[in-house]
Structure 1
Amino acid sequence: MALTLVPKVVPIRNREITQQKLIGAVGKVLAESGFRHLGINQVAREAGVDKKLIYRYFGGLPGLLAAYGDTAHFWPSAEELLGEDCEVAGTMPPHQLIR
């Protein structure tokens, strides 16, 4: 009987996916607990990854927060800023709209 070798399957680790998980976890932790309770352990647990990756990919919590601040999830949408006045904003001159 011939022995067939099956190649060992090595899981592919995707840095970008892990970084996005961590950035998303920051948003979720902030929404649920606020800045006061934001920490490395809580974010890593929420993302389902080892906390060492926060240091490896972002240099620590400040770098991860900066990355979160660079996403669209951090900034309010135009609808959130304008509230119920979206139609009125379309009629305003640019200088008033920016103000």
Structure 2
Amino acid sequence: MTVLTSRRNKNRGQGMTEYIIIVALIAVAAIGVYNLFGSTVRNQTASMAAALGGDSGAAGDANKAATKNGKAAADEAVKVKGLENFSDAAAVKPTK
């Protein structure tokens, strides 16, 4: 009986470990995407919040800024990056 319980616990531990690895990989990918498109996401969120608040002028400005930052992020994503110039890519400041 203890052998069956021991095997069952090992299988549960293996499943949990695989789940944790998958969640960690998704988190790393999400951080990378947010680093690349973070300013675009922030500006689009600000645009939606301003539009819901009834301020169409601020919504339009935030939408234009989001479009500009999205194009800049897409241009940056096309460039070939290596570890030797990773810090240069991380130092790109969002435009307003």
Question: Shorter-normalised TM-score: what interval?
Answer: under 0.3
More helix by share: 2
**TM-score, normalised via structure 1 length:** 0.27
Query: Which structure is higher in RCO with an 8 Å CA cutoff and minimum separation 6?
Result: 2
